[in-house]
Structures are given as C-alpha cells and as structure tokens.
C-alpha cells in the first residue's frame, strides 16, 4: 500500500454490490467490501479477469449503479451518485468499450450533443487542440478510425469537465499503432492533474501506461495501489500480478501440453480471408486429437473472420480447412465441427426461440422434411442436465437464460454432436466468475477426447487452457508460443502488442504436430 502525503481525489470504502436476491440461486456478489483510492496526477490500472467485478465497480463510480453498502468521498466530501449525469457533474467521466457516438454526425455535432450547445467547429478544434487531441471537427464519425472515435469520447468527457476519467478496456478496439498515442494522451491528462483509471485484464497494457495497479478477483480487492517499481523492466512482477488476478499460478509445468496427442484432426493450409486487404492470410496450423490450440489476438486483428471461416460460416479466398481430411465450408462438413461462436445471442442461438428449437439449430443436419420437436425437447433436456444449466426446461426461451447458462447450453449442445473438433470463440466473454470456471472445466474435459481450437482475445485464458498459443497480429500468425515456457505470458503479450518479432512465419508454418514447429523458450 502506498503511503501518500496528498489525500486521494476520490476514495471508496467498503463498496458492495450484489446482483440477484441475497442467498438466492444465481445471486452474485459482484463487489465485496471494496476499497479504492484514486489520486490526481496518476494513471491507475484496475486489473482483473472477466467477471472479476471491474465493470461493476466502475459503474458505481460513474453513477450507472448504486452500491448496496459502502461510501465514496470526493476530495474528502461524501459523494452519492444517483445517475451518470450526477457523476459527470461531480467530474467523473467514463469511456465505455462501446462508444456512444452518432455515426452520421460530425465530430463537432457529437460534441454539441454531449454538452448541449450549438455545433461549433472552431470551438471544437480549439478544445481538441487544448488537450492535445488530433481531431478534425468537421469529419463525420462514420469516417473515423476506432482510435479517433475513442479520442472523441475522451474529448466529450473533458468538455464536460471530467477530473476523473475512467476507460473500460480502452485498447481492445485499437490498432497497435494507436495504443501508444492513447498512452501519451492519458499521460498528458494525468499530468494536468486528473485521475485516470484504466480497466483492463491485459498485463502489457499496464506495463505501457500505469503508475499504480489494483487487482480485483472474484469481487474482492486483492491488491491495492501497488506503485510501479522502476527497477523492474515492466514496472511490476508480471507473474505475481497474474497470480493475484487468477488466484492460481499459471500452469508452469505445461500439464496441458504434456498429454499424449492422437492423430491430426484439423489441418489448415495457406488460409487467406475475403476482402482487400484480407482479414487474415498465410494461416497454417494443425491441431491433434487430445490437444488444445489457442489463437489469441487483440480485437480487430482478424481472429473474428478467421473463426467464422474455420467454423464453416464463410468461405476463404484461398487455402483449405480440413477436419479428418474433409473440407469445412458453408455446405460441407458442418457435422465435423462443434462450433461455439462468439455471438451467443444472435448466431449460436435465436433469442425468441425455445431451447428445444435452438437445439435443432446446429444438430439436425439436413435429414427429412419435418423436424421432430419431441426429439429436440429430449436433447435439450439432456443438454440442460449435462452442464447444469439453470433453465425452466426445454420450452424456455433462449432470451430468458443468463449469459453463463446460455453459454453452457450451447456448449452442451455442440459437445453432444460428438464432432472430432471443438471450436470455441471467446467462450467466457462477459460471464461471471462461476460460469467462467464451469465453461473452462467443460472445455478441458472435451480436450481429453477431441481436438480443441480456442479463439480468444484473452491471453490468460489461452495460456490456462491451451498447450500451444498462436498469436494473430494484423491477420498473420506472429508467433506460436508453448504454454509451458517460463516466459510464455510475457511473449504472448509482446506478440499481441506487435512488439518483438518472436517467431515469425519466416521459419516455416506452425505445422508438423504439437512437438515440431513450435518454439519453446526462444527463437529457432
């Protein structure tokens, strides 16, 4: 804990927030007596896994949620926030992962919408300039890059007088080249006397920008205001931080990759995506039975399109995807891939159909003119039992299930297909802690008998589940890291950020089975 002469700008004491009835089934204590101090002039990283309670905490700070108990003080005075507008008036502004901008309007018009005045391009330009943010006020938001949109969101908050600026996963939407610019902006805003909070689960991010770190795990603050240690290259002992975050040491012995692997199930050759430039290209790898292979990347580096192609939803421009020698495509080989796509509520299920009908979505193939609702209901009931899904029954609508329960249902449905390959994409995004561990357990069990391909944006998830981790950067595999390597996390993080050419494709594609073609602990 940091001894500090200056009092904190904002301090929280004993904040708790529970969702669902206390002691009820499905009730989650998202924040459990959390303390947090934010100081002017510092960039504070709030670190935690998906579902650790980061968003809940920040929603309480920015007025979207009110705490069940505990108190907040702003410059020493008690602070009660009943709405986001009240938080803004108190000088607390939040930039969400999803921007709230009107795409058809210009930068100046969006600013005017937020502040209530008339659009004034010159004033907007001066405002942007005064904060060192490069933005052309006349340009339409639709034409802006994600980085520019983020700048506009930050500018909106600053225009409203934010002294405490909270950014939720700010780098997840950015191209690597834009990340440094963001860090520079945040540094400047902090130097001008603001408190900046970065919510993240990515360790490389804090190494690049933060002054101090707090770690949330399962709703509790397990470390608070740890300052940067200038003696360490990354500022902190990253292994210790990730240990705090996940509550366990990362699998250092590489147990997952030591298992005997069977025959090669998935063979991907020279895969190149549609579009100009293609979303991905030069993708070569193989996954064997009994092996878990992960593809990680910061959002926007091509893994969404790659997963859709591997799952057979879209055709590649060239190259091939084969499972046990059979090609996978929109019309072929769908029964060979158990596919859990990222979009749970729109692609993997139809919210307005029942679980019985949703079960028939991917499992019936094309036999017969009629579909048996009774068989669907039976299989749905089996899927509900298999992974302990909380639902009223097969006739429940998919929309009535929580995210975690729906994901378990989808996973159970796909596993019941008995396909040789399980493809899971962002399987735990947005799930609570309990559901995350259940989904991970189900994937580990599946990996005992099938080949598993995990596509995720979360390096910790990849390293926790997979034997090998391929990092996708700008549509290409920047390197493949053996999860058991002692510095695996660090190297995955650097590859994701586009730093350090680890192992490129230059030496040949990442094929040849789990043992060959993989670099464990250094360059070839």
- The interface region with another protein, picked from 10-18, 133-141, 307-315, 493-501 by CB under 8 A, is 307-315
Look at residue 510 and give its three-state secondary structure: strand
The nearer residue to another protein, 166 or 423, going by C-beta atoms, is 423
| Least distance from another protein to the Cβ atom of residue 266, Å | 18
- Separation between Cα atoms, residue 33 and residue 18, nearest integer Å: 11
How far apart are CB 133 and another protein at their closest, in Å? 28
- Residues with Cβ within 8 Å of 499's Cβ and at least 6 positions away in sequence, in order, are 204
- Residue 373: CB minimum distance to another protein, A: 8
Tokens of 200: 């993240």
Instruction: Estimate the crossing angle of helix 121-130 against helix 107-115, to 10 degrees.
Output: 90
Residue with Cβ nearer another protein (79 or 268): 79
Asked if residue 118 binds another protein (CB under 8 A), the reply is no
Window contacting another protein (CB under 8 A); options: 17-25, 149-157, 348-356, 456-464: 348-356
116 in contact with another protein (CB under 8 A):
no
Assigned token pair, 214: 């707090």
Considering only 257, 362, 379, 428, the residue that binds another protein (CB under 8 A) is: 362
Q: Which is nearer to another protein, 228 or 334 (CB)?
A: 334
> 368 Cβ partners below 8 Å, 6+ apart?
none
In the shown chain, the binding pattern of residues 86 to 115 toward another protein, with x for contact by CB under 8 A and - for none, equals x--xx-------------------------
Q: Does 79 bind another protein (CB under 8 A)?
A: yes
Task: Give Cα separations from 495 to 184, 394, 477 (angstroms).
Answer: 21, 44, 9
163, with CB counted inside 10 A (0-12, 13-18, 19+), is buried
Is the preceding omega at residue 112 within 30 degrees of 0, hence cis?
A: no
DSSP secondary structure of 44-109? EEEE--TTSSHHHHHHHHTTSS--SEEEEEETTEEE---SHHHHHHTTEEEE-SS----TTSBHHH
Residue with tokens 């005992």: 448
Contact between 188 and another protein by CB under 8 A: the answer reads: no
Among 181, 347, 381, 416, binds another protein (CB under 8 A): 347
Choose between 6 and 366: whose C-beta lies nearer to another protein. 366
422 lines the binding site for another protein (CB under 8 A): no
Angle in degrees, 0-180, between the axes of helices 355-363 and 403-416, rounded to the nearest 10: 40
Task: Give yes or no for residue 59 binding another protein (CB under 8 A).
Answer: no
**Min dist. Cβ of residue 487 to another protein (A):** 38
- The answer to whether 341 contacts another protein (rule: CB under 8 A) is yes
Nearer to another protein, 71 or 180 (CB): 71
- Least separation, in Å, of the C-beta of 279 and another protein? 16
Indicate the burial class of 429 (C-beta count within 10 angstroms; 0-12, 13-18, 19 or more).
middle
Which one of residues 98, 248, 331, 524 is an interface residue with another protein (CB under 8 A)?
Answer: 331
Q: How many residues interact with another protein (rule CB under 8 A)? A: 38
Whole-number Cα distances in Å, 393 to 174, 282, 377, 390, 484: 41, 45, 9, 9, 42
Integer Cα distance of 483 and 386 in angstroms? 29
Among 352, 448, 500, 523, binds another protein (CB under 8 A): 352
Residues within the interface to another protein (CB under 8 A): 74, 77-80, 82-83, 85-86, 89-90, 311-313, 330-331, 334, 339, 341, 343, 346-353, 357, 360-362, 364, 366, 368-371
């Amino acid at each position: 804990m940091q001894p500090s002469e200056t009092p904190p700008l904002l301090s929280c004491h004993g904040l708790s927030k529970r969702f669902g009835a206390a002691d009820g089934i499905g009730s989650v204590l998202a924040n459990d007596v959390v303390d947090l101090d934010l100081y002017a002039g510092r960039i504070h990283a709030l670190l935690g896994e998906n579902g650790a309670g980061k968003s809940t905490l920040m929603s309480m700070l920015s007025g979207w949620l009110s705490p069940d108990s505990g108190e907040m003080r702003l410059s020493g005075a008690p602070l009660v926030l009943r709405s986001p507008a009240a938080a803004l008036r108190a000088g607390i502004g939040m930039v969400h992962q999803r921007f709230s901008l009107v795409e058809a309007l210009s930068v100046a018009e969006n600013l005017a919408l937020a502040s209530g005045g008339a659009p004034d391009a010159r004033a907007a330009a001066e405002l942007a300039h005064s904060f060192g943010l490069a933005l052309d006020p006349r340009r339409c938001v639709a034409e802006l890059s994600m980085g520019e949109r983020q700048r506009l969101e930050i500018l909106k908050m600053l225009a409203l007088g934010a002294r405490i600026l909270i950014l939720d996963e700010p780098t997840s939407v950015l191209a690597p080249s834009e990340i440094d610019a963001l860090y520079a902006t945040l540094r400047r805003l902090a130097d001008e006397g603001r408190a900046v909070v970065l919510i993240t689960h990515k360790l490389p991010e804090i190494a690049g920008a933060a002054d101090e770190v707090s770690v949330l795990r399962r709703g509790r603050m397990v470390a608070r205001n740890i300052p940067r240690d200038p003696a360490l290259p990354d500022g902190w002992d990253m292994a210790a931080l990730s240990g705090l975050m996940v509550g366990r040491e990362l699998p250092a012995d590489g147990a997952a990759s030591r298992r005997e692997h069977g025959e090669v199930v998935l063979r991907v050759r020279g895969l190149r995506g549609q579009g100009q430039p293609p979303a991905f290209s030069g993708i070569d790898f193989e996954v064997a039975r009994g092996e878990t292979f992960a593809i990680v990347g910061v959002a926007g580096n091509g893994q969404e399109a790659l997963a859709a192609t591997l799952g057979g939803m879209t055709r590649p421009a060239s190259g091939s995807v084969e499972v046990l020698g059979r090609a996978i495509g929109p019309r072929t080989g769908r029964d060979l891939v158990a596919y859990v796509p990222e979009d749970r509520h729109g692609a993997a299920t139809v919210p307005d159909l029942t679980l019985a009908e949703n079960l028939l979505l991917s499992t019936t193939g094309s036999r017969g003119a009629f579909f048996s609702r009774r068989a669907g209901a039976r299989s749905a009931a089996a899927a509900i039992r298999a992974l302990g899904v909380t639902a009223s029954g097969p006739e429940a609508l998919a929309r009535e299930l929580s995210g975690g329960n729906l994901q378990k249902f989808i996973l159970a449905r796909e596993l019941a297909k008995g396909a040789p390959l399980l493809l899971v994409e962002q399987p735990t995004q947005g799930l609570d802690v309990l559901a995350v561990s259940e989904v991970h357990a189900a994937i580990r069990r599946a990996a005992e008998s099938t080949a598993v391909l995990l596509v995720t944006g979360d390096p910790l998830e990849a390293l926790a589940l997979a034997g090998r981790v391929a990092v996708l950067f700008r549509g290409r595999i920047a390197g493949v890291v053996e999860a058991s390597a002692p510095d695996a996390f660090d190297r995955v993080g650097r590859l994701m950020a586009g730093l350090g050419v680890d192992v490129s494709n230059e030496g040949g594609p990442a094929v040849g089975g789990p043992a060959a073609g993989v670099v464990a602990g250094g360059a070839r």
